[in-house]
Structures are given as C-alpha cells and as structure tokens.
Amino acid sequence: MYFWKMMKGLITLLLLFSSHLCWSQKVVKSDSVVMTKECIQDIAQVVDSAINYGKSFIGLAYKYGGISTSGFDCSGFLKHIFNKYGLILPHSSRDYANLGDTISLKEIKKGDVLLFKGSNLKSKRIGHVSLVVEVTENEILMLHSCRRGVLIENYLDSDYYLKRFVGIRRLNKIPSSRIRSGSDFGSVQGTTPTLQGNKAGG
C-alpha cells in the first residue's frame, strides 16, 4: 500500500513538472526552414533590435510583395526586420489578426502591431500593418512600409489611418513554429535567411 501511494505521488509530481516545460516534440519543414512546435517565447527581447534595424530602411521605396532590401510591402517589412532576429512573421497582413493578443488603444505600447483596412474603406479585410515604435501622451509613432516608402509617422495625426483602424495585436507570446531553427532568438547578431511567403498587399 505504501509503495503505491509513493508511486501515485511521484506520477503527480511528474505531471505537474511537465506542464511547465516547453516541449518541442515535432519538427516540420516549411520553405526549407526547420521549425519546432509548441514552444512559447517572449518577443519583448527582440523589439528594440528589430525597431533599430527597421529604421535603417527609412526612405526605401515601397515594393508590392517585397520582402528584401530592394523594397518592401507592409507585411514584408515586418517579416524582414523580425526575421533577422530569428522570428518568422507572416507575409500577409490579414494573418496578423491571428497572432498574439488583442490590445486596446489605451494599452498600446512599443512593439505592438497596428492593423488597418486597405484602401477600400467598405472592406472588412485587413490590408495594412505597422509597428509601434514610441507612445507618448499625444503621439503613437508607427514604423511601416506604405506607398510613400518606409517611414515613421504619428498615427493620431493621420486621418487616412484613423479611418481605417481595425485593431492592435501584441505579439508577446510566440509559438516555436515561428522561431527560426538554429537562431539565437533575441540576439542582435542574428542572420537573415531567404524565406518564401505568400505575397500580400499593404
């Protein structure tokens, strides 16, 4: 009887311990990049590095479907600057609606992603994304690639984007399917592999 009680207690402890582990049980290949599943990582550690890297492209011309330094569309830009630090983001603006957590405008902070409609105000589809780089009492500065190229502007002063606002996503927890295999996630010394993606407007 004592033996079985000991075994039951040991099993319970093992189950509790395993619930706190970050398992990487499956490996899949996507666009020649090996990715592990189910692990959760914190994106906060790469935000500053990605923003600084993104600022180096200010003035670069917009390119539809662009994902390289020859030109970006909106989602291609975010994909590129975060991919440098090991994070694989989608190359489709509408896919950002399914990442992270929904955040209210009162909670917005650096690193959040602003979601907007495209040029068609009647459409409910997300057509543009931008990255928040600074928040003050009177400003929400966003870094993005738009038809005017890569730039930083104040969302609160933009009638165009105010009319097209859809929501805000905070990418605070990322599944390992979006962590580039072999990368030092969060390292400023990350590299930029060539990845394929579905072209999307923005």
Using an 8 Å Cβ cutoff, are 19 and 160 in contact?
A: no
Which residues on adjacent β-strands are paired with residue 29? 34
Q: How far is CA 131 from the centre of its chain?
A: 9
Q: Would residue 128 show up in a list of annotated catalytic residues for this protein?
A: yes
| Residue among 39, 80, 91, 144 flagged as catalytic | 144
Which residue is catalytic, options 39, 74, 80, 146?
Answer: 74
CA distance linking residue 16 with residue 119, whole number of Å: 50
The count of C-alpha atoms lying within 13 angstroms of the C-alpha of 94, restricted to the half-sphere facing its C-beta, is 11
DSSP labels, 54-113: HHTTTTPPB-TT-EETTEE-HHHHHHHHHHTTTB---S-GGGGGGSSEE--GGG--TT-E
From 39, 80, 91, 128, the catalytic residue: 128
Q: Are 178 and 35 spatial neighbours (Cβ–Cβ below 8 Å)?
A: yes
Closest CA to 141 of 51, 25, 34: 51
Q: Annotated catalytic sites, by residue?
A: 74, 128, 144
